[in-house]
Structure 1
Amino acid sequence: MFAVASDPQIWAKHPAWDRFKEPVFRAYFDDALASRGGLTVVDKASGRVIGASRYAAFPELDEVEIGWTFLSRDFWGGAVNRQMKRLMLAYALVAFPRVVFRVGENNVISCRAMEKIGGRLTDRTESIVRGGKPVVHVLYEIDRTGFTAGPLNT
C-alpha cells in the first residue's frame, strides 16, 4: 500500500500533503487498522493494491463517514472510485440513513469527485489543526434517497 501512497502527486492537493513520507503514512495506516474500518483497494485484473478507503460510524448522529480514500494515479478519472463508492455506500446505507464525506475545502480533486458521485455539499464544516495551522474541511452527504436516484445508480 505504501508503494502507491509514496507518490507525492497523490497528496499534492490534500490537507495531509506529506502523507507520501513513510512515517506520516505509517501513522495513517496504523490509525486505519485501529479504526477497524479500513479497506484495501485491489485491482481485480492485476491483483495489485491500488489504494485504500475507510468507514467511521457515528451512531449518535445517525450517519457513517466514508473517507481517507486514495487511489493510484493510474486509476484517477476512471470507473474505480465510482464503483468503490457505490459498493461502500450500498453497504453503509443499509444501517445508516446517510453517509458523509469530509473533504479539505481546497482539495479541488476530491470536491469534484464528490460532485461526480452525487455528493451534496452541506453547510457543515470542521476545522482541525495540522502542522500548527487550521485546516478547514467541508462535508458532503448522500442519503438513501439521493443514492437510489443519484448518478451512482443510473
Structure 2
Amino acid sequence: MSTSILNLQPEILENESVKLVPLKETDFETLYKVASDPLIWEQHPNKNRYEREVFKNFFEGAMESKGAFLIIDKKTNEVAGSTRFYDYEPENKSVFIGYTFYGRKYWGTGFNPQVKKMMFDYSFKAVDKIRFHIGAENYRSQIAIGKLGAKKIDEQEVAYYNEPSRYNFVYEIEK
C-alpha cells in the first residue's frame, strides 16, 4: 500500500519526446491557439470550448485546479495541448486525470499514451486507482483510454467548472 501524498502539480514530468509543465496564467494565448479548433471539441460534451469566452472559463478552472499542465513537444518546443490531475482523494487512494486535449497535428502520434504513462507512473507512487470522466459521446477518448487498460466502472452527470452538467462515463485503471 502506498502512503505518500500526491502533489497534483510537480515541477515537470518528461520523457524523451514530451514534457508536462505546470500551467501558468501567462499560457492562455498559447494554449487558446491550440484549443480554438472546433474539431478538437466535436465529440466532447462541451462542444463550444473553441470559443474564446468558453475556453477562458475552462482555463480558469484549469488554473484553480492547481493540477493542470501544458503538454510540450520537446522536438519542436510547441504546445501540443493540456491535461490535469484533479479530484484527488487520499482516503480512497484515487485521483482523476482528464481535461486532456491535443491539437489535431498530435492526434494518432503516440503523444497521448506517452503523457498518460508519465502521469500513471507518477500517480501510482501515491494512489492505487486512477479514474477518468469521459463524455458519453466522446468515442475517440473512450477508445484511447480502453487501449491503455482502463475499464468503464460507472456513468454519472459531471458538472465541469462553471458549465452545465453533462453525461459522462467513469473509467478506472488500478495499480
TM-score class, shorter: 0.7 to 0.9
Query: Aligned partners of 2:158, 2:85: CA distance in 1, in Å?
Result: 19
Bigger proportion of residues as helix: 1
Matched, 1:65 2:96: yes
Q: What does residue range 33-72 of structure 1 map to in structure 2 within 5 Å? A: 33-56=63-86, 57-72=88-103
**Which residue in the other structure is 1:3 paired with?**
33
Runs of 4+ in 1 over 3 A off after TM superposition: none
In the alignment, the residues of structure 1 paired with residue 167 and residue 45 of structure 2 have an alpha-carbon distance, to the nearest angstrom, of 9
Specify the code of the residue in structure 2 equivalent to 1:114.
I
Query: Partner residue of 1:79?
Result: 110
Q: Which residue number in structure 1 is paired with residue 133 of structure 2? A: 102
Instruction: Using the aligned pairs only, state the percent identity.
Output: 33
Structure 2: gaps spanning 5 or more residues: 1-30
Q: SS of the residue aligned with 2:75?
A: coil
In structure 1, what residue type is equivalent to 2:78? R
Secondary structure, in 3 states, of the residue corresponding to 2:124? Answer: helix
What does residue 57 of structure 2 align with? 27
The answer for the alignment partner of 1:89 in structure 2 is 120
Structure 1 residue identity aligned to 2:137: N
2: CA distance, partners of 1:69 / 1:115: 15
TM-score (norm 2): 0.77
TM-superposed deviation, 1:125:
1.7
Instruction: For 2:77 and 2:165, locate their aligned partners in 1 and report how far apart those are by CA, in whole Å.
Output: 39
Quick one: distance in 2 between partners of 1:93 and 1:127? Answer: 26
The aligned residue for residue 147 of structure 1 is none
Distance 1:103 1:3 in 2: 23
| Higher RCO structure, 1 or 2 (CA under 8 Å, sep 6+) | 2
Deviation of the 1:24 alpha carbon: 0.7
Match of 2:149 among 101, 118, 142: 118
**In the aligned structure 2, how far is the partner of 1:27 from the partner of 1:119?**
29
RMSD, aligned α-carbons: 1.8
Residue in structure 2 matched with residue 149 of structure 1 by the alignment: none
Q: Give, in whole Å, the separation in 2 of the partners of 1:62 and 1:24.
A: 32
Shift of 1:63: 0.6
Shift of 1:118: 1.2
Q: How much does 1:116 deviate?
A: 1.3
Change beyond 3 A, Cα 1:105–1:50: same
